[in-house]
Amino acid sequence: MKWTLLFATAMMAVTAIAPADIITLKNGRIVDGRLYRQNNHFLIKPVSGGIMVVGLGDVASVELQTARNPAEKARQAWQFLRVQINRKKNVGQIIVLITAYLKTYPHSPLRAQAEKTLSRFQKYQTDGFVRFSGRWVSLKTRAELMAKCRWITQMARKLLRDGKIIQAVGKSRQALAINPAYTNALIIGGVAERRLGNMPGATRLFRAVLAAHPRNTIALNDLAIVRFDQREQPAALRQYQKAIILAAGNRLLLDNISAALRAYRGSRRAILYRRLQRTFALADRQMRIRMAKKGLYRFGNTWVNARARAYLNRKSRAYRRRKESLVAHYKTAQIELQSVNTQLRQIKRRIAALINTINYSEFDQEALFMQGVMIFLPNEAMLSSDTAALTQAQSQQVKLRTQRVRIQANIQNIRLAAAALTRKEPTAMRTDIQRMMLPGDLKNVPPPLPLAIFSNTGSGVTLRSGAAGQHKPAPAH
């Protein structure tokens, strides 16, 4: 009887539960339950399971069931509608949504609030208001704010060009305070933050650009460089891969990728590296053809004219000859050192054997002397011969040690010469520099980097950009 009563009570409780709302999330999940707003998120109380917390933008739709209290349904529908209103940028769409709500819930306890909101947006529509930086303003106000934002951004760019980095950061932040989504201000601010060493700040700004514009090549290029700065080279290659697909004909981007591939410290057999290398090779082949028509040729990650290329090639050939000579001398010295070390080990064993033999001979002579034999000529002759051989071996050991010291000094000099030569390698000059892009650099590409070349004697020249993209030698400073 007791179990029957409990079962009946449970059945009554189940039937008393009102049907739940059908809540559809943006990820496609459908939940049966109740939806409540709490501050900047929604609480979902499912029919079964624990409470869920989701963002305001994560809810796609809510289908309200008829069994719920009409006033509660109207209140919750208005709550959800307010979230939609805050996300809409078109006044007409908002008016349609509010009008539909008032028609669906004519007796809503929030009707006065809905009508007031409708009246406000109808006035916005009449006055031609638009949404700008999270608020509704007139077209004239928006134009004035945008003009001010562009002007401040241009000031930030000029300050950045002049090397006044802190002031540039301040101006970019002023521009973003007016319009947080202004792409040019985000990019210039990111470049300035990177110049200050604020890599997290730069990353945040470039990501903000890419969140709104995933195909922005400038932001992809700049974020790749920041990744390199943070020693996240695989992530940098991924950004470059996206950028080169969008702008394979941009010379500055290809120069940066050339530098990145050279500076990469990870496995060069990795798919990520090899894929970017292949894509770069195809794009760079076309770029070389285009640049050759202008009389410019790739050298590392920059470009030089025919005269400079001939000069650099001569330097490269001289460098390779010097390098090959040092390598040959080093190998010869290593072989000589190995031979001397082998001879020293042999002479050491020879000296130890002679010392043992001499000691035994002297012991035999002493024993014979104790027996009354003054001199045993055969033993005396052997002792004299071994002593002479020991003296000769010890002299040879000294010579070999001296020779080893000389060879070791020669090897050290070769290493120092190789290190100095590496610093003067023509292709090593400026081949690891990756340049940040600013707004406009896709169309008006900055000129190639100057290339510093040093001779083996230490004197140097700098090849600088000349008129019409030409390069001419200039004295070193």
Q: How far apart are CA 253 and CA 457, in angstroms?
A: 34
Output DSSP code: residue 253: H
At residue 282, the pLDDT reads 96
Rg from Cα positions in the chain: 41
Cβ contact 194:229 at 8 Å? yes
CATH class belonging to 18-133: mainly beta
- Start-to-end CA span in the chain (Å): 105
Give pLDDT tens digits for 324-357.
999 999 999 999 999 999 999 998 898 888 888 7
Q: How far is it, in rounded angstroms, from Cα 119 to Cα 410?
A: 92
The pLDDT of residue 230 is above 50: yes
Q: What is the pLDDT of residue 308?
A: 84
Q: What pLDDT does residue 290 have?
A: 94
CA distance 294 to 272: 33
Range ranked top by mean pLDDT from 107-116, 349-358, 423-432: 107-116
User: Is the C-alpha dihedral spanning 230, 232, 237, 242 positive or negative?
Assistant: negative
Give the per-residue pLDDT at 12.
35
Q: What's residue 4's pLDDT?
A: 40
What amino acid is encoded at 150 in this protein? R
In this prediction, residue 254 carries a pLDDT of 95
Q: Domain spanning 140-303: which CATH class is it, in words?
A: mainly alpha
- Is 25:31 a contact under the CB 8 Å cutoff? yes
- The reply to whether CATH 1.10.1760 applies to domain 310-428 is no
C-alpha–C-alpha distance, residues 402 and 397, integer Å = 9
- Interatomic CA distance for residues 242 and 240, integer angstroms: 5
Task: Answer yes or no: same fold for 140-303 and 310-428.
Answer: no
Give the mean model confidence (pLDDT) for residues 51-68. 75
Residues 191, 438 contacting (CB under 8 angstroms)? yes
Reported as half-sphere exposure (CB side, CA atoms, 13 A), residue 144 has a value of 5
Domain map of the chain by residue range?
18-133, 140-303, 310-428
Question: What is the reported pLDDT for 173?
Answer: 94
Tell me the β-bridge partners of 32: 22
Other Cβ atoms closer than 10 A to 234: 13
